[in-house]
Structure 1
Amino acid sequence: MTDIQQLLTEIQQEAQSAEFPIDEPVYRAAGLEPTQPILYAGNLESQLCFFARDLGKDEVFARQPLYGAAGKLVRLGLYRSMYGKEPSDDRDLQTVLDRVLFTNTVPYKPPGNKAYSEGVKKRFRPFLERLLVFHWQGNQIITLGNEAFKWFFPYAAKGVAAEFFEGSDRYTASLQVTLQAKDNQGNLHQRVVTLMPLPHPSPLNQQYYAQFPQMLQQRLAEIRD
């Protein structure tokens, strides 16, 4: 197994090996090489991971997943749960990173607001597997939105995750899946994690946006330290 810096290096090498859509103007404006991955933010020893779709403009500038409008809603909910009060400013919200891990299906920003294709997700999937199996120490994952939850379909028995997500209780129920990752010697490692889906907290998601803070608090109440 390798350290996290080696993983980041290998992700960048993969990104440089063949072209795929990256929102290069945003990276240039942020002073970043477009193939530099923004893989995660937070504490690799935390019990809880938030898994979202992909990066936005704010995330590239901050060099952290879940930093924009949706991410701020997540961070605000975490802060309220942790401290039982409102934050004084955005710097207070950064303290939640001590207790959580943030990551995405792909560690790059696609042009516009379009999700990455399955082909791009497949290219970077092995690196996310290694992050979650080898480097992160927790076992509880809150997925944000459909694309984030569907990323985990391959780790459940055929049809099980899809059937779960069709259920009316998908945002209150949980599903165990078995993640898999190969080390540099080709040995397969596994880890059982619990998925706790939530809708994506985007202002465009009118069906759930107003309910999201309460739904998040209900999920956080389930977390085992």
Structure 2
Amino acid sequence: MPLTPRQQERFKALAAEIEGIDVEVYERFERDPLEPIIGLGKPNLRIGFFGRDPGRDEVRHGEPFIGAGGQLVRKALYEQLYGETMPDFEASKAVGEHFFWINTVPYKPVGNKAWSMKIKRHFHGLMNEVLISRWEGRTLITLGREAFLWFGINRPKEERDRLEAFWKQEDRFESSIEVTLEDDQGEAQTFTLYPLPHPSPLNQTWYARFPGLLKQRLEQLDVRQDNLTL
């Protein structure tokens, strides 16, 4: 489900106010650096993935979660749904249509450094609105610490502390936690977060274990071909 024209324009206006978008990469692939890269998907998809921010491959294809880390996620999704190895890149794009995709900030940062808290706050209200208004699902698999703690932004201190404490638990990649978001229009919605580590090859601690942890999550959430929508 695409953004509304108003949301599209608001993202572009917010992006025009910040520094740090990797304009060079956007130019290389002849992409508009003010155009948000948000995967979205059909509104009735049951499960969403919430990541950090797009990388070079995401800019190139204009689609999130399509680079190295995203391919790791899509490979596991394909195997879970079809019981066989994902054959090619086109299959990785197709399997993504069964899930909702969204990031903390829908723009590639220079040097792939995580966006600052200031920039995440800058987009936070609009990202909240997209999550609440463009999707009916309430189950989110978050990828990495940055994506998980995003849900504490602009929330009371006790809520941020609760998320921080959860992240320190040894069983955080097997457990879940409920969070409530509210957008600038006063619309509120509760989501259940199922955190996982970030699937980057640079994340040496967890990279090798990531496929197994994601498989465990997909089993836990009963992900199968006839159970993908609400």
Under a length normalisation based on structure 2, what TM-score does the superposition of the two structures give? 0.90
Measured in 1, the distance between the counterparts of 2:139 and 2:20 equals: 31
Q: Report the 3-state secondary structure (helix = DSSP H, G, I; strand = E; otherwise coil) of the residue aligned with 2:183.
A: strand
Moved more, 146-155 or 64-73: 146-155
* 2:64–2:101 CA contact under 8 A, matched in 1: yes
Residue identity in the other structure for 1:112: G
Percent identity reads 38
Q: Alpha-carbon deviations, 1:165-188, whole Å to 9, x = none?
A: 1100011000000111133xxxx1
Distance 2:44 2:175 in 1: 25
Rounded to whole Å, the distance in 1 between the matches of 2:9 and 2:152 is 27
Cα displacement (A) at 1:193: 0.7
Report the 3-state secondary structure (helix = DSSP H, G, I; strand = E; otherwise coil) of the residue aligned with 1:79: helix
- Where does the alignment leave 5 or more consecutive residues of structure 1 unmatched? none
| Counterpart contact for 1:141–1:193, Cα < 8 Å | yes
1:10 paired residue number: 10
Q: Which residue of 1 aligns with 2:220?
A: 222
Give the number of aligned pairs: 219
Residues 22 and 108 of structure 2 are in contact (CA less than 8 Å); yes or no, is this contact kept in structure 1?
yes
How far off is 1:24 after superposition? Answer: 0.4
Find out whether 1:19 has 2:18 as its counterpart. yes
CA shift, 1:49, in A, is 1.0
Give, in angstroms, the shift of residue 3 of structure 1: 5.6
Mapped to 2, the partners of 1:43 and 1:72 lie a distance apart of 20
Classify 1:196/1:58 alpha carbon distance in 2 versus 1 (closer, same or farther; 3 Å). same
Rounded to whole Å, the distance in 1 between the matches of 2:163 and 2:207 is 24
The answer to whether the 8 A contact 2:18-2:119 is kept is no
The code of the aligned residue for 2:101 comes to: F
Contact 2:54/2:65 (<8 A) preserved: yes
Distance in 2 of aligned mates of 1:19 and 1:199: 28
Q: Does 1:36 align with 2:38?
A: no
Contact kept in structure 2, 1:52 and 1:148, CA below 8 Å: yes
Write out aligned runs for 1:137-216 (5 A).
137-154=136-153, 157-183=159-185, 188-216=186-214
> Which of 102-111 and 82-91 deviates more?
82-91
**Does the residue aligned with 1:143 lie in a helix, a strand or coil?**
strand
Q: 1 CA distance for matches of 2:75 and 2:27?
A: 29
- Tell me, yes or no, if the aligned pair for 1:39 and 1:107 is still in contact at 8 Å: yes
Residue 89 of structure 1: aligned partner: 88
- Give the distance between the partners of 2:159 and 2:177, measured in 1 at CA: 11
Distance in 2 of aligned mates of 1:158 and 1:59: 30
What do residues 13-40 of structure 1 show as CA deviations (whole Å, max 9, x unaligned)?
A: 2222x23211001001111121111122
Bigger mean CA deviation after superposition, 5-14 or 130-139: 5-14
Unmatched 5+ stretches in structure 2: none
Does structure 1 retain, via aligned residues, the 8 Å contact 2:66–2:93?
A: no
Rounded Cα–Cα distance in structure 1 between residues aligned with 2:131 and 2:191: 10
| 2:151 counterpart of 1:121 | no
Secondary structure in 2 matching 1:182: coil
